[in-house]
Amino acid sequence: MKKNFWIKFSVFMSLIAVVLAIDLVSKYFFYDKADSANAIAVIPYIINFKRLPDLNYGAAWGIMGGKQVFLIVLSFVFLAIFVVYYIKEKNKSWLMNITFAFLIAGCVGNLIDRLFLGGVRDFIQFAFWQSFPTFNFADVFLCVGVVLFIVYMTIFLVKANKKDKKENVEKSEGDKDDK
């Protein structure tokens, strides 16, 4: 295989490891070791780290609370989709590598919590919007990964559309030459 592929793949795997480590280490220090009574102002008036009294047994905003088996199966399904799409995609651009590293690591980070703890450790909250659900770095990486995937697909579709138009123009010019 090409050297460029192995460089991108190594960066891809390293990024998954780093993102997953950020998630798991932050959960350990800011959830497992934190005092639930006090919030830590990370960026005053904007972001707090605050340990909740209990795990999140649902998904975003606590939806599907208590449906851990379903959420675990869903996580495995999405993880499989991410991996299969990544493997089948021929153009492993840097944007694609970063996108899928974020999606895979974010999914695995929350999946580890669900499998070993029965729920997800959330500790990041908006200081200015405390009714917004508390979340963790895996959630952040998943959201960023989804946005990057939208950007990636937009770029891919625009390039494919330009290529199709160019081929159609060349074909129609070739047809004119034949007459």
Long-range contacts of 44-47 (CB under 8 A, 24+ apart): 44/127, 45/127, 45/128, 46/126, 46/127, 46/128, 47/124, 47/125, 47/126, 47/127
Distance CA 66, CA 118 (A): 9
Tokens of 119: 């729920």
139 annotated active-site: yes
Catalytic residue among 122, 175, 177, 178: 122
Catalytic residue among 35, 54, 139, 164: 139
Q: Is the dihedral of CA 67, 63, 81, 83 positive or negative?
A: negative
Long-range contacts of 51-55 (CB under 8 A, 24+ apart): 51/123, 52/122, 52/123, 52/134, 54/119, 55/113, 55/117, 55/118, 55/119, 55/120, 55/121, 55/122
Q: Is the dihedral of CA 72, 77, 83, 85 positive or negative?
A: negative
122 annotated active-site: yes
Residues designated as active site = 122, 139
